[in-house]
Structures are given as structure tokens and as C-alpha cells.
């Protein structure tokens, strides 16, 4: 029984070391791009802003907002969203699909 | 195998130490392969603790009484299903469950964030491994689940009879899942502060885990309440017990956080408030865990024996100190990006809701911890009972329910007065109609209950109105039939409508609490067969005694060797309503010195209540047979004198027959409580709403903006 436990222990230890140490042995480690943190923050802000615009439209359509308030807040939110998209475009590695194709 | 189990704990400790070092080194030097290695250490911790857990579980299942924890909490006569759950009935086993669940949830969180928030996640990994290492360290140095005794005793003490119920099997895993899930926002909060990355992304990343923590804690709390009501013999579901309170406090702060984080996501406001709530929730979860292991409680919830108070106090002090230091030192990064536009806005309602929730938490904190601290310092037993808690929590709960009806009907940023008047009409009419109805029915004489019913009607009105209007909007856009429009509306706006369903569930739950508290009829009476007692509008007649001997006949499958009880007939007027058979189960004491027969039934007796539950009321009964009656004690004494242990069951059979033939007067506790079922139904509704809100949105709603044009940009946003 003691030998079995010793073998089990060694096997488990070897497995754990191999598994945990795998990233240290990996070749061609990819370095995160310099703008990764900024991009994540801006993408989160963008999704939150989209959600806010959708929520605002739902609030207006369900009668919580007057038309004037809706137009004013909606315009403001869209300006804020554009600012976020502009900042996102300046971050290296950001998706370029958000801009429309140029007119023919 | 006990040795292998302990080796797993040592390995777990080493993995934690390595993981902490690797994560911190990786993030400080920006060598991300070390941070990844630290994350893998968490996965390895989960695997190693799973193996350790399996070793312990196998020991319980196979009745290996060489394991001290198996001998202390299980036995050959403990039903198999309860033997499986007995693992976490001990201090040692529950620590292992806590550490294991922490490692599992942490692994999931770190896996889901492996490509994001690198700096924050690396610090969070270190903190989660630190917490895991703390619990593993407790097992290694203080409460080893793999400690053994040689030679092994032939039989164990058995599982506490009070824990031999199905709800008790699932209650700890649910509650511990809630506690351990609270650690993830805590760790990411600390990580965001340490990495100085305090934008919206970290809070969005942990939102689901905060929600899951809230959900599991809530389920665990409700299961505990259900166990208290349906299994214990006092007839209540909430006693403001210190341990109940300790699980409620992080749930309250988590509720506050789930609301205020929406404000931060939308407006960049309340950053200090949110990070403080996250840290407070995690700390309160640790304090709740501390309470049952500190040695300062004498309760069914408490683990006796080892006291782990000192290490826990050190950890709690560290958490509080680090929280205060980091929040103060990073306050410049936590400045709000916007201000409150209007007091008539959803932001303002959420702020008010937060203040009420935190006030509730503070009241409960004060009522729970101050007497304990006072007792620990002065030696005088201090107590704060349910009346004290009710005095302060009931008005706050009323305001909370009212706010949960106000929030859905006002807009973000600012609402116009005209719109607000129109939107509040239906909920106000619902509340007023409820009041009129209660007055007409003659039940409006209890002010707090009446106020709660009216507030709940207000919530029903506001939430119902939201669903109706939202469905109409959806139909106008998509031309769908109403059922499909409703489904599509909820599917596309899960957070909003899932949240509305949660609000509705909470209103239903509070109606159940108010009704069952204010309109309950309870009677304690000694009855002999043929006698009756009046309980409210019902008459309960004691028809005849009941008795069973040996675990094979134990209908509740709890392993009781002897059960004595009664058959009761419940009548309303002349109409038969139900037949109830409450009983009391008697268990072995394990003390041979009591005598061969007395030791079979000399353990803690447990009441098996009988109940007839319905949507409008529960009829609840418990019985305390008089086993000390001279005629019955004569049989026990004779058996003690004359029977060897292997024949002692014969005496129990004789005792049971004597009880059936000449039953002494028994004490009955009889309760008729209205709307108790609404508490459990409300809980189910809350659970369903929470699941809807938690479920990931369909990927089509995340499609990128296809075109952008000024002045009406962002074409391609998903429609409502």
C-alpha cells in the first residue's frame, strides 16, 4: 500500500509539474499587443454604450421618455459612441470593420 | 489512502504557493508565460482537491472508521445517501468542500478571462490562490480531514439526526458555492485596484460571477429556511440566527452591487461605491464562514471542536485593511465620469435601493456581531432576538419592495413628470385596489402586512405593465403574435426582463413572509387520543398514536431506531381537510453506560413534522411524545437489566406496543400559516428570473456596427 501511495504521489506530482510548467516551455510565446488593455476597456465601453442606446429606445417606445428627451439623449449617446469608436480605431489591433466602406 | 489524501493537501499547498509567486512575478515583469503558469496552478489545485475529495468520499461510503472524520460523523446505520453528504457535516470535510468549490469556480473564472484583462486576472489569480492556500493551510495545520486512529473503531458515532434530510444534503454545497463565488469579484476587485485598471471592463467581466454568487447564496439561504420550516420542530423558517444572518449579509451587498454596477457600466459613476461593495461582499462571505468555525457559537450550524477563530480573524483583518488602503490610494482613478442628471431617474432609484440594502446589511451586522463581541469581551450572555431585528428590517424591507416597483417604470438619465405620472398610474391603482380589497375582507388591521401587500401589488402592476408595453412594441416592430413577441422581447433583453421577473419573485416572497408572520395561528397543547384543539379556522383531532421500530420501517429514512407519533385529522368545520402523522425519532446515543435499551434511543430525538401545504395556507404539526412516562420507562429499565445488546430491539418493540395500547398524553405544536407556499414560489420565480438575466445573449445581438453615418450613426444596432 505504501509503495502504491508513493507511486501515485510521484505520478501526480509529475503531472502537476508538467501541466503547470507548460507555458514556460512553450516556444514562440506570443506577447500581448501593447494596446490590449486599452482595447479591452474600449470594447467594453462600446458594448455598454450600444446597450444603453438600445435600452433608451426601449424606454422611449414603452412610454418612459418624452420624444424630446429621447431625441436629445439618443443624440448624446450616439456622439459618445462615436468617440469610443474613434478611440478604438486608434488602438493598435482594433477591428477595422466598424467604419462604412467609402462611397463610390 | 488517508496518507495519500494528506499528500494531496500538501501538494495543493505547494501549488498555491507556486501559483501566487508565478502570477505576481508574471504581472510585475510582464512575462505573461508566468502569469499563464499561475493560472494553470489554479486548474491543478482544482484537480488535486478533487482527488482529495474523492479519497474522503470513498472513506465515507466504505465506512472506513480509521478516518477520524468518518468515525465522528457517520456510521454503518447512517443511510447511504446521507453518508455521501456527511463529508461536509464536519469541520474538516466542510473546509475541503469550501476549498474545492473555490478552486472550481476560480478555474472557471480564470478560464473565461484567459484572453482578457491580463494584468487584473494575474493579480486575481494570486489572490484566489492565496485564499485557496489559506483554506488548505487550515486543513494541513489545524483540521486535517485525513487524520486517522489506529486501530480503527468498529463503528462510528453517526450523522447528527438533525442533518438527515434531503434539503440538508444540498444546502451546504449551494451556500458554499455562493460564498466561494463571492471570492471571484473580490479577487478581481483587488486585481483591478492593484493593476490600476479601473475602467468598465473588469466590472463587466465579473458581473456574471457576482450574479451567480447572488443566485447560489439565495438558493442556499432559501434551502436553509425550507429545512428549518419543514424539518425542525419549531415551525418557523427564519429565526435571525447568527449563521442565517451571516449568509444574508453578503447576499444583500451583492444585490446592491448588481444594481449599482449597471450605473457604472452606463454612466461611469459610483466607482468607489462599487469596488467597496465587491470587497465588502467578499469579506462578509469570509466572515460568514468564520462565524461557524470561531468557537463563539453554540448552534446546529457551528462546528465544535477545533476553533479556527484566530486564523480567520487575521484573514478578515487583512482583507479589511487591504481594501481600505487600496480604495483610498486609488481614489483618483475611481472618480466618477458623470453626475446624476435627475432625481427622477432610474439611477436615483437604484441609488436609493443601494442605500436601503446597505442599511439592512448594517442593521443585521450590528444585531449579529455586537452581542457576540460583547459576550466574548464581558463574558455576559447577550442576545438580540427576532423582535429587535423585525423592528428595523421590516420598514426597510417595505421601502425595498416599493423601490423594486418604481425602478422599472422610470427611465435612465431623466424621466419627465408627465411620463412618470402616466407610468405610475397602473401600479398605484393596483396598490389601491389591493388596499380596498383587504379592507373589505377585514384583514387590513395589520399595518405592516397591509403595506407589504400593497407594495407587492404595486410591483406586480409595474412589472406587468412593462411586459405588456414591451410586447406591444415588439409586435409593432416585428408583427409577431403576442406569445412570440413576448418571448422575443425577453430573449433580446434578458438582463432587463430577467431582472423584472426577479423583482416580481421577491414581491411574491415578501407577501408570503408578511402573511405567514402576521396572520399565523399557533397552539401548543397536550392531547390524548380523541381530543381536539382549535387552530384558527381549523380543528385538529388526535385520532390515534403511531409507532415504528427499526430503521427499515423509518418512513423518513433517517435511521431512527424508534419513532413515536400520532395520526391527526384536520377539519375545517365538518369538512375533512387532511390527515397528518407527525412523529419523533429516537436515535442511538453511542453511550453503552446508559444501558442496552436506553443507549439505543438515548441520543438526541428529532421531530419529524407533518404538514399539509397549499397555495393559501399550510397546516403544520409537530408532536413530542412523553417517552418519560412511567409505563414506558419501566420497559426501558427492565430491558436494561435483563436484555443483552443483541436482543435490545425486542424491548423497543414492546415499548412501541405499549405506547400504541396506552398512549400517554403528548404535547402538540400546531400551526396554521397563510401563504407560506408563496415564499418558496417566490424563490423559484427569483431563481428563474436570475437564470434568464444570467444567460448569455444570442450572438446576433453582438454584431458589430456595419455602418456609421452622422448625424444618425450606429446603424446596425440590434432592434428592441
Please identify which residue in the block is written with the cell numbers 421577491: B506
CA distance to partner chain B, nearest, from residue A18 (Å): 10
Q: Nearest Cα to B199, choosing from B307, B318, B117?
A: B117
pLDDT of residue B718: 47
Question: For the purposes of burial, counting CB atoms within 10 Å of the CB of B543, is it exposed (0-12), middle (13-18) or buried (19 or more)?
Answer: middle
Alpha helices in B407-540 (DSSP H): 417-441, 447-478, 482-492, 494-518
pLDDT exceeds 70 at position A86: yes
Percentage of residues in chain B with pLDDT exceeding 70? 93
Rounded to whole angstroms, the Cα distance separating B524 from B459 reads 37
Q: Residue B719 pLDDT > 50, yes or no?
A: no
Among residues B404, B414, B258, which one has the least CA distance to residue B339? B414
| Cα–Cα dist B704/B716, whole Å | 8
The CATH fold of domain B1-160? 1.20.120
Residues B242 and B368: beta-carbon distance below 8 Å: yes
Q: What is the pLDDT of residues B570-612, one digit of tens each?
A: 999 889 999 999 999 888 776 777 777 787 788 778 888 999 9
Give the C-alpha separation, B555 to B551, whole Å: 8
Give the separation between CA B668 and CA B568, rounded to whole angstroms: 10
Q: Which fold has domain B165-334?
A: 1.20.120
What is the pLDDT confidence band of residue B555, given thresholds at 50, 70 and 90? Answer: low
Query: pLDDT tens digit string along B141-194?
Result: 988 999 988 888 888 877 777 777 777 778 888 889 999 999 999 999 999 999
Say what the pLDDT of residue B712 is.
44
Q: Residue A98's pLDDT band (boundaries 50, 70, 90)?
A: very low
In percent, the amount of chain A with pLDDT more than 70 equals: 77
Average pLDDT over residues B610-630: 92
pTM: 0.89
B557 or B47: which leads in pLDDT: B47
Number of inter-chain CB pairs under 8 A, A vs B: 157
* Least CB–CB distance from B411: residue in A59, A78, A95: A59
pLDDT at B214: 94
pLDDT at B306 over 70: no
Contact B50, B5 (CB under 8 A): no
What is the average per-residue pLDDT within B101-111? 96
Q: Which chain B residues are Cβ-neighbours of A65 within 8 angstroms? A: 411, 415-416, 419
Return d(Cα B247, Cα B242) in angstroms, integer: 9
CA distance A90 to chain B (A): 16
- Number of Cβ within 10 Å of residue B488's Cβ equals 18
Contacts of A83 (CB under 8 A, 6+ apart): none
Residues B643-698 have pLDDT tens digits of: 777 777 788 888 889 999 999 999 999 999 999 999 999 999 999 999 999 888 76
Stretch 16-75 of chain A: residues touching chain B, C-beta under 8 Å: 16, 19-24, 26, 29, 31-32, 36-37, 40-41, 43-45, 47-48, 50-66, 69, 73, 75
Predicted confidence band of residue A93 (pLDDT cuts 50, 70, 90): low
Question: 416580481: which residue's cell?
Answer: B504
CA dihedral B232, B233, B239, B243 (to 10 degrees): -30
Strands (E), B184-278: none
pLDDT tens profile B187-243: 999 999 999 988 777 888 888 899 999 999 999 999 989 988 988 778 889 989 888
Q: How far is B461 from chain A (nearest CA, A)?
A: 15
pLDDT band with cut points at 50, 70 and 90 for residue B633: confident
- 3-class secondary structure, B183: helix
Residues of B in contact with A13 (CB under 8 A): 11
Q: How far is CA A55 from CA B366, B406, B410, in A?
A: 39, 17, 12
C-alpha span between B527 and B567 (Å, rounded): 12
* Cβ neighbours of A54 in B, within 8 Å: 493, 717-718, 720
At B713 the pLDDT is 44
Taking a C-beta distance cutoff of 8 angstroms, is the pair B622, B607 a contact? yes
The span from the CA of B17 to the CA of B561, in Å, is 49
Average pLDDT over residues B417-444: 89
Inspect the interface and report whether the beta carbons of B708 and A31 lie closer than 8 Å: no
Report pLDDT for B412. 82
Q: Which of B132, B123, B131, B126 is nearest to B198 (CA)?
A: B123
Confidence of residue B704 (pLDDT cuts 50, 70, 90): very low
pLDDT at B717 over 70: no
List the single residue in B with minimal CA-CA distance to A21.
B37
Rg, Å, chain B Cα set: 28
Q: pLDDT value at position B700?
A: 44
Average confidence score pLDDT of chain B = 87
Confidence band, pLDDT 50/70/90 cuts, at residue B265: confident
What does DSSP say about strands B532-535 and B562-572: parallel, antiparallel, or unpaired? unpaired
What 3-state DSSP class applies to B470? helix
With 70 as the cut, is the pLDDT of residue B557 above it? no
Q: Flag whether pLDDT at A96 surpasses 90.
A: no
In the numeric block, which cell numbers belong to residue B142? 489545524
Rounded to an integer, the average pLDDT of B692-708 is 58
Higher pLDDT, B432 or A36: B432
Residues B94, B88: Cα–Cα separation, whole Å: 4
Residues 6+ apart with CB under 8 A from B148: B2, B66, B67, B68
Fold match, B1-160 / B165-334: yes
C-alpha–C-alpha distance, residues B224 and B242, integer Å: 13
* B329-338, B351-360, B571-580, B607-616: segment of lowest average pLDDT: B329-338
Q: Does pLDDT of B701 surpass 50?
A: no
**Count, residues in chain A:** 104
- For chain A, domain boundaries: 33-93
pLDDT digits (tens, 9 = 90+) for A17-43: 999 999 988 755 555 555 666 777 788
| Cβ within 8 Å of residue B460, ≥6 positions away | B430, B504, B507
The pLDDT score that the predictor gives to residue B155 is: 81
Residue B208 and residue B694 in contact, taking contact as beta carbons nearer than 8 Å = yes
What is the band of B405 on the pLDDT scale with cuts at 50, 70, 90?
Answer: very high
Chain B CB within 8 Å of residue A80 CB: no
Residue ranges covered by each domain of chain B: 1-160, 165-334, 402-519+680-702, 529-664
B168 and B225 in contact (C-beta within 8 Å)? no
Amino acid at each position: 500500500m505504501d509503495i502504491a501511495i508513493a507511486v501515485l504521489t510521484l505520478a501526480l506530482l509529475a503531472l502537476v509539474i508538467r501541466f503547470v510548467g507548460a507555458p514556460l516551455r512553450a516556444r514562440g510565446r506570443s506577447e500581448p499587443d501593447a494596446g490590449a488593455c486599452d482595447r479591452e476597456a474600449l470594447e467594453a465601453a462600446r458594448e455598454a454604450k450600444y446597450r444603453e442606446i438600445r435600452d433608451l429606445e426601449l424606454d422611449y417606445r414603452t412610454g418612459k421618455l418624452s420624444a424630446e428627451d429621447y431625441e436629445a439623449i439618443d443624440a448624446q449617446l450616439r456622439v459618445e459612441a462615436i468617440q469610443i469608436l474613434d478611440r478604438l480605431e486608434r488602438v493598435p489591433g482594433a477591428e477595422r470593420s466598424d467604419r462604412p466602406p467609402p462611397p463610390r | 489512502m488517508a496518507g495519500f489524501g494528506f499528500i494531496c493537501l500538501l501538494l495543493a499547498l505547494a501549488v498555491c504557493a507556486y501559483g501566487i509567486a508565478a502570477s505576481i512575478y508574471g504581472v510585475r515583469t510582464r512575462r505573461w508565460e508566468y502569469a499563464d503558469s499561475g493560472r494553470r496552478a489554479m486548474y491543478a489545485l482544482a484537480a488535486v482537491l478533487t482527488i482529495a475529495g474523492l479519497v474522503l468520499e470513498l472513506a465515507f461510503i466504505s465506512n472506513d472508521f480509521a478516518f477520524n472524520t468518518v468515525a465522528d460523523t457517520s456510521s454503518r446505520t447512517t443511510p447511504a445517501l446521507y453518508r455521501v453528504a456527511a463529508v461536509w457535516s464536519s469541520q474538516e470535510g466542510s473546509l475541503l468542500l469550501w476549498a474545492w468549490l473555490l478552486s472550481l469556480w476560480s478555474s472557471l473564472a480564470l478560464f473565461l478571462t484567459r484572453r482578457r484583462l491580463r494584468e487584473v486576472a494575474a493579480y486575481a489569480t494570486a489572490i484566489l490562490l492565496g485564499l485557496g492556500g489559506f483554506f488548505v493551510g487550515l486543513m494541513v495545520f489545524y483540521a486535517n480531514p485525513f487524520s486517522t486512529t489506529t486501530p480503527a473503531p468498529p463503528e462510528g458515532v453517526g450523522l447528527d439526526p438533525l442533518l438527515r434530510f434531503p434539503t440538508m444534503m444540498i444546502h451546504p454545497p449551494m451556500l458554499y458555492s455562493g460564498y466561494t463565488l463571492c471570492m471571484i469579484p473580490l479577487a478581481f476587485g483587488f486585481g483591478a485596484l492593484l493593476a490600476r485598471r479601473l475602467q468598465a471592463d473588469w466590472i463587466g467581466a465579473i458581473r456574471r460571477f457576482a450574479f451567480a454568487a447572488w443566485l447560489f447564496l439565495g438558493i442556499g439561504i432559501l434551502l436553509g429556511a425550507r429545512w428549518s420550516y419543514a424539518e425542525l420542530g419549531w415551525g418557523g423558517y427564519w429565526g435571525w440566527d447568527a449563521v442565517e444572518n451571516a449568509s444574508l449579509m453578503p447576499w444583500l451587498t451583492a444585490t446592491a452591487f448588481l444594481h449599482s454596477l449597471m450605473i457604472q457600466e452606463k454612466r461611469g459613476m459610483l466607482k468607489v461605491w462599487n469596488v467597496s461593495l465587491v470587497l465588502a461582499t467578499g469579506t462578509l462571505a469570509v466572515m460568514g464562514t468564520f462565524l461557524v468555525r470561531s468557537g463563539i457559537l453554540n448552534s446546529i450550524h457551528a462546528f465544535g471542536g477545533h476553533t479556527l477563530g484566530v486564523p480567520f480573524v487575521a484573514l478578515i483583518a487583512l482583507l479589511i485593511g487591504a481594501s481600505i488602503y487600496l480604495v483610498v490610494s486609488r481614489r483618483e482613478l475611481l472618480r466618477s465620469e458623470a453626475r446624476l442628471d435627475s432625481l427622477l431617474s432610474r439611477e436615483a432609484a437604484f441609488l436609493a435601493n443601494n442605500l436601503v440594502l446597505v442599511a439592512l446589511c448594517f442593521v443585521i451586522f450590528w444585531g449579529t456581531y455586537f452581542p457576540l463581541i460583547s459576550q466574548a469581551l464581558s463574558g455576559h450572555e447577550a442576545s438580540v432576538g427576532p423582535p429587535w431585528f423585525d423592528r428595523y428590517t421590516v420598514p426597510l424591507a417595505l421601502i425595498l419592495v416599493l423601490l423594486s416597483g418604481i425602478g422599472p417604470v422610470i427611465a435612465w438619465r431623466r424621466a419627465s413628470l408627465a411620463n412618470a405620472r402616466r407610468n405610475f398610474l397602473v401600479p398605484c391603482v393596483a396598490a389601491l385596489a389591493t388596499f380596498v380589497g383587504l379592507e373589505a375582507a377585514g384583514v387590513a388591521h395589520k399595518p405592516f402586512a397591509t403595506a407589504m401587500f400593497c407594495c407587492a401589488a404595486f410591483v406586480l402592476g409595474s412589472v406587468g405593465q412593462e411586459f405588456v408595453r414591451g410586447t406591444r412594441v415588439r409586435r409593432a416592430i416585428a408583427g409577431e403574435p403576442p406569445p412570440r413577441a413576448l418571448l422575443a422581447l425577453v430573449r433580446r433583453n434578458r438582463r432587463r426582463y430577467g431582472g423584472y421577473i426577479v423583482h416580481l419573485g421577491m414581491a411574491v416572497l415578501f407577501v408570503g413572509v408578511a402573511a405567514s408572520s402576521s396572520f399565523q395561528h399557533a397552539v401548543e397543547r397536550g392531547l390524548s387520543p380523541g381530543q381536539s384543539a382549535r387552530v384558527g379556522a381549523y380543528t385538529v383531532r388526535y385520532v390515534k398514536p403511531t409507532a415504528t421500530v427499526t430503521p427499515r420501517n423509518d418512513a423518513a429514512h433517517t435511521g431512527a431506531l424508534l419513532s413515536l407519533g400520532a395520526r391527526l385529522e384536520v377539519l375545517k368545520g365538518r369538512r375533512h381537510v387532511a390527515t397528518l402523522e407527525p412523529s419523533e425519532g429516537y436515535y442511538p446515543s453511542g453511550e453503552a453506560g446508559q444501558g442496552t435499551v436506553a443507549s439505543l434511543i438515548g441520543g438526541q430525538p428529532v421531530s419529524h413534522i407533518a404538514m399539509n401545504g397549499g397555495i393559501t395556507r399550510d397546516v403544520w404539526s409537530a408532536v413530542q411524545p412523553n417517552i418519560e412516562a412511567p409505563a414506558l420507562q419501566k420497559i426501558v429499565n427492565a430491558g436494561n437489566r435483563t436484555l443483552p445488546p443483541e436482543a435490545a430491539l425486542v424491548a423497543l418493540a414492546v415499548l412501541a406496543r405499549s405506547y400504541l395500547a396506552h398512549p400517554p398524553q403528548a404535547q402538540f405544536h400546531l400551526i396554521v400559516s397563510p401563504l407560506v407556499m408563496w415564499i418558496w414560489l417566490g424563490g423559484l420565480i427569483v431563481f428563474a428570473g436570475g437564470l434568464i438575466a444570467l444567460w448569455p445573449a444570442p450572438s446576433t445581438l453582438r454584431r458589430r456596427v456595419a455602418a456609421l453615418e452622422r448625424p444618425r450613426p450606429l446603424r446596425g444596432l440590434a432592434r428592441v
